[in-house]
Structure 1
Amino acid sequence: MIKAVIIDDEINARELLEKTLHRYFPNKFNIAEKCASVDAGVLAIKKHEPELVFLDIQMPEKNGFELFKYFENINFEVIFTTAFNQFAIRAIKRSALDYLLKPINKLDLADAIKRFEARNKESFAQKKLSLLLENLNVNDQNVSKIAFPTVEGFELIHANQVLYCKAESNYCCVKKIDGCTNVITKTLKYVEEILPPASFKRIHKSYVINLNFVVRYHKANKEVELTNGEKLPVSFRKEEDFINAILQNH
């Protein structure tokens, strides 16, 4: 069984999540403790040593992100639960961590648990949570690193190393300035959402490019040329937005 701790200041949310887990995942979860605050959650985690923590973000005294400063080593996985806060969600996505929007949908919950079970027990929990805190502490336009999900786990890449991203069915290829390509197990739409919007622009249904590496735009051919010499198509629908973004970026 998966030993878990639930941390949420709302009693109804705690009870509902526990009931949902027991109803749809019978005999899979042992809820060691349900906590109403970060401080109580810290004590519960140190006492029970759970494999998984369901952690609310918005709580009155301390938000969920403050929990991690009480641990020198993170040896548990986290699934965040939240009702809003787009900046927090963007940071969570960039760090390859899972989150659930309230009210929690059982299908989303099932997907998050499936991903948890698929991860290697020697997961990169420490790195992912350290990256989350790093991403929360930087300006949203200047993200230092992004954790891109891969088949093996995830790849840490600086946003300024990404030349462009290309859609490959339900996957995505990230082309870096060093010429290497990483296959990401997410769609281009997902990747577009976690990239800094000031530097990255969708130019075609299949491409998102880093505006900092644009050399020129061939208006007649509707092609953008990048610093590595590659030429990528710009769709008619995206052309005006792309040109405006280039002018604003420079």
Structure 2
Amino acid sequence: MIKAVIIDDEINAQNLLEKTLDRFFPNKFNIVEKCNSVDTGVVAIKNHEPDLLFLDIQMPEKNGFELFKYFDTVNFEVIFTTAYNQFAIKAIKRSALDYLLKPINHVDLAEAVKKFENRNKESFAQKKLSLLLENLNVNDQNVSKIAFPTVEGFELIHSNQILYCKAESNYCCIKKIDGHVKTATKTLKYVEEILPAHAFKRIHKSFVINLNYVVRYNKADKEVELTNGEKIPVSFRKEEEFINAILQSQ
């Protein structure tokens, strides 16, 4: 069984999550403790050494992110639960961590549990959480590293190393300036949301490009040429928005 701790200041939210886990995942979870604060959660983690933590972000005295300063080494996975805070959600996504929006539904919960179970036994928890705290502490416009989920785990890539991203069904290919291509197990829409908005632009249903590597735009052919010589199509609907973005970036 998966040993888990729930940390949430709302008793009703604790109980609802526990009941949902019991109903849709019978005999899979052992909720060893439910806590209503970061401080009680820290004690529970040290006492029980759980495999998984369901952690609320917004709590009165200390928010969920403060919990990690009490641990030199993180040996548990985390699924965040939150009702709002878009910046926090973006930072979580960039760090390849899971989150659930309240009110939690069983479909989203099932997907998060599946991802937890499919993870490599060599836990990436420490790296992911360190990256999360880094992403929370930097200006949203200048995030340097992004963790892209892959089949093996996740790939850390500096945003300024990315030429463009291309949709491949439900996956996304990330073309780097060194010529290497990495495949993220997420859609292009997901990847677009976690990239720095000031530098990356959706120019086609299948492409998001880094504006810093644009060399020229051929209006007749509706193609943009990048520094590596590749030409990427620009859709009619995205053309005006793309041109405005290029002019504003000068």
Range class of TM-score, shorter chain: over 0.9
SS at match of 1:58: coil
SS at match of 2:141: coil
- Return the letter of the residue paired with 2:146: I
Query: Partners of 1:223 and 1:36 in 2: how far apart?
Result: 55
Determine the structure 2 residue equivalent to 1:16. Answer: 16
Determine the structure 2 residue equivalent to 1:26. Answer: 26
Q: Is the contact made by 2:164 and 2:209 (CA closer than 8 Å) also made in structure 1?
A: yes
Shift of 1:122: 1.4
Matched, 1:137 2:133: no
Equivalent runs, 1:52-63 vs 2, <5 Å = 52-63=52-63
- Return the letter of the residue paired with 2:188: L
Question: Any gaps of 5 or more consecutive residues in structure 2?
Answer: none
Query: Partners of 1:77 and 1:84 in 2: how far apart?
Result: 21
SS at match of 2:122: coil
Shift of 1:178: 0.6
Equivalent runs, 1:47-196 vs 2, <5 Å = 47-196=47-196
Shift of 1:55: 0.1
Q: Is the contact made by 2:166 and 2:206 (CA closer than 8 Å) also made in structure 1?
A: yes
Moved over 2 A (4+): none
Query: Partners of 1:10 and 1:78 in 2: how far apart?
Result: 18
Q: Is the contact made by 2:203 and 2:235 (CA closer than 8 Å) also made in structure 1?
A: yes
Query: Partners of 1:67 and 1:223 in 2: how far apart?
Result: 48
Question: Any gaps of 5 or more consecutive residues in structure 1?
Answer: none
Q: Is the contact made by 2:145 and 2:156 (CA closer than 8 Å) also made in structure 1?
A: yes
- Return the letter of the residue paired with 1:116: F
Determine the structure 1 residue equivalent to 2:220. Answer: 220
Percent of residue pairs bearing the same amino acid type: 84
Query: Partners of 1:200 and 1:28 in 2: how far apart?
Result: 41
Query: Partners of 2:142 and 2:162 in 1: how far apart?
Result: 13
Q: TM-score if structure 2 supplies the norm length?
A: 0.99
Shift of 1:121: 2.1
Determine the structure 1 residue equivalent to 2:237. Answer: 237
Query: Partners of 1:44 and 1:178 in 2: how far apart?
Result: 46
Q: TM-score if structure 1 supplies the norm length?
A: 0.99
- Return the letter of the residue paired with 2:226: L
- Return the letter of the residue paired with 1:180: H
